[in-house]
Amino acid sequence: MENSLTSEVQRLSGENIDLCYHCHKCTAGCPVVQSMTYGPDRMLRMVTLDQRDELLQSQDIWLCAGCYTCATRCPNDIDISAVMDALRQIAISSHAPIGERDALLFHRLFIGVVQRLGRSHEAATLGLFKVLSHTPKIQDMDAGFNLFIRGKVPVLPHYSAKAAADVRQIFKKSESEEN
């Protein structure tokens, strides 16, 4: 029988997780599995077992880098990154304790910068992240300086008022569709 977490995840992600037969290919290829507690294969099983609290409070849903490696390896074409997105949405909307607060902060800063500038800007995102997460380190400054002198991280964004207005429209449309 389908539980409420399964239906919620399937509705939000558009993925049929009942197709999973736990071959483990997704977990075997996941680049961040070493840092995860469960890994993608086991997380799908936890959804079907309705282990809501463990999953929504887990750091794994925030550690997923959305790289789609699991989706390309899955013999049943299950896009687990979409499932992870759904789990993050459910965790936020149900006010679950966030398993990896810095990851959520990074997501919010990234989206905030894109919303304001119409595109990403690494220097602004990383600078704000380092200050707000209270993790500025001398090694990071060295790394940042090296990226800057190689021209990899421009200090000023390539701003276009039209692009910013277009992106704001996309956000507006998406917010009105959610409500």
Residues that bind ligand SF4 (CB under 6 A): 20-26, 30-32, 40-41, 44, 64-70, 73-76, 78, 80-81, 84
Tell me whether residue 31 or residue 112 sits nearer to ligand SF4 (CB atom).
Answer: 31
Tell me whether residue 92 or residue 132 sits nearer to ligand SF4 (CB atom).
Answer: 92
Tell me whether residue 32 or residue 128 sits nearer to ligand SF4 (CB atom).
Answer: 32
By 3-state DSSP, what share of the chain in percent is helix, strand and coil, each rounded to 5?
Answer: 65, 0, 35
- Find the shortest distance in angstroms from Cβ 49 to ligand SF4: 14
- Find the shortest distance in angstroms from Cβ 10 to ligand SF4: 13
Which of 15-19's residues contact partners 24+ apart within 8 Å by CB, and which partners? 15/78, 15/79, 15/80, 15/82, 15/83, 16/78, 17/44, 17/47, 17/48, 17/78, 17/83, 18/48, 19/76, 19/78
- Find the shortest distance in angstroms from Cβ 91 to ligand SF4: 15
